[in-house]
């Protein structure tokens, strides 16, 4: 015979869980095992751990598009980079966040680029770095997101600096030392390099550049650096200092010389001697 589980509305007997109830008469605001949780008067919820879902992606120089249904934790492994597209903000609650971790092996392209749904850059994570990306507004601009970056394991990654000119012509370069490192804090990249090399050229022209920086500078922001050169190098007239700059939107360094009361002048092939060695040390930073 069927059992009548109906309980009078004025009853103080809680409806059992087995019958679709909570088994309690009042909201449970103190954590208890195997019981339903409730918010306290200040909308706080207590627990030992909130276990978030996670997804691990092997990078393939491709694109991972997140949605409102994506796991909160996103881990990336492999040797290549990946672009992550954040969800459309209109589908999210303000304050909703995602945790993105770059566990890739070190390499010149093993960074994770995080963009908004409109393709605007929010942040870049190099190997060993992680970030909490939080929705703080509506729209497709980067400003709709907060990006809090952690340096994780404090990774310093490498890049390969290349000696060249705006128009290389028949330039060839023999390298004795060709090394560079970079480190990111937030949206700022700190980079340095050492070049000991011998350029050979007769038809090169334009400005002297060093290419190979991991990412281009953010358009509209001037990014200065300093450099030291030795070996067979000819200083422009009355100049005493060498500086570098990562120009807007570029991922290479341009070099110029300056002096007291002397206008800055770009370095060109005329400042170098073909078949003669030159040593260049440089340290710079720029905003991405």
Cα-atom radius of gyration of the chain, to the nearest Å? 29
CA distances to 16, 99, 111, 130 from 75, in Å: 41, 8, 12, 9
> pLDDT tens-digit profile of 233-258?
889 989 888 888 888 888 899 999 98
pLDDT at 92 over 60: yes
> pLDDT tens-digit profile of 175-233?
999 999 887 776 778 888 999 999 999 999 999 999 999 888 876 566 677 788 888 88
The reported pLDDT for the residue numbered 171 is 98
The reported pLDDT for the residue numbered 269 is 97
The reported pLDDT for the residue numbered 1 is 46
Tell me the C-alpha distance between 168 and 237, whole Å. Answer: 24
The reported pLDDT for the residue numbered 116 is 94
Q: Which of 249, 237, 272 is nearest to 164 (CA)?
A: 272
> pLDDT tens-digit profile of 57-86?
999 999 999 999 999 999 999 988 899 999
> pLDDT tens-digit profile of 2-16?
555 555 555 567 666
Q: Please tell me the least confidently modeled range out of 47-51, 144-148, 264-268.
A: 47-51
Q: Please tell me the least confidently modeled range out of 30-39, 140-149, 255-264.
A: 30-39
The reported pLDDT for the residue numbered 36 is 75
The reported pLDDT for the residue numbered 59 is 94
pLDDT at 157 over 90: no
Mean pLDDT of 145-167: 83
Tell me how crowded residue 167 is: count the other CB atoms within 10 A of its CB: 12
> pLDDT tens-digit profile of 102-131?
988 766 567 888 999 999 888 888 777 889
The reported pLDDT for the residue numbered 248 is 81
Q: Please tell me the least confidently modeled range out of 28-32, 76-80, 259-263.
A: 28-32
> Which H/E stretch holds residue 44?
none
73-77 and 97-102 as β-strands: parallel, antiparallel, unpaired?
A: parallel
Tell me the C-alpha distance between 167 and 99, whole Å. Answer: 44
Confidence of residue 261 (pLDDT cuts 50, 70, 90): confident
The reported pLDDT for the residue numbered 108 is 53
Residue 63, classed as helix, strand or coil, is strand
The reported pLDDT for the residue numbered 186 is 65
């Amino acid at each position: 015979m069927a059992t009548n589980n109906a309980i009078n509305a004025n009853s103080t007997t809680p409806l059992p869980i087995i019958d679709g109830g909570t088994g309690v008469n009042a909201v449970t605001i103190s954590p208890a095992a195997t019981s339903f949780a409730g918010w306290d008067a200040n909308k706080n919820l207590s627990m030992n751990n909130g276990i978030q879902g996670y997804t691990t992606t092997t990078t393939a120089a491709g694109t991972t598009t997140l949605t409102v249904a994506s796991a909160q934790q996103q881990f990336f492994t492999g040797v290549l980079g990946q672009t992550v597209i954040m969800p459309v903000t209109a589908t999210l609650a303000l304050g909703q966040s995602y945790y993105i971790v770059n566990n890739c092996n070190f390499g010149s392209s093993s960074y994770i680029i995080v963009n908004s749904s409109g393709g605007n850059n929010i942040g870049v994570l190099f190997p060993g770095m992680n970030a909490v990306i939080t929705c703080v507004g509506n729209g497709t601009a980067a400003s709709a997101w907060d990006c809090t970056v952690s340096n994780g394991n404090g990774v310093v990654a490498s890049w390969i600096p290349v000696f060249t000119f705006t128009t290389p012509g028949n330039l060839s370069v023999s390298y004795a030392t060709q090394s560079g490192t970079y480190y990111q804090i937030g949206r700022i990249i700190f980079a340095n390099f050492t070049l000991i090399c011998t350029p050979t050229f007769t038809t090169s022209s334009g400005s002297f550049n060093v290419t190979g920086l991991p990412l281009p500078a953010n358009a509209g922001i001037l990014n200065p650096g300093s450099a030291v050169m030795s070996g067979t190098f000819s200083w422009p007239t009355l100049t005493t200092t060498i500086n570098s700059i990562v120009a807007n939107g570029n991922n290479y360094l341009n070099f110029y010389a300056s002096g007291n009361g002397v206008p800055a002048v770009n370095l060109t092939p005329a400042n170098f001697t073909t078949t003669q060695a030159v040593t260049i040390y440089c340290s710079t930073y720029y905003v991405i």
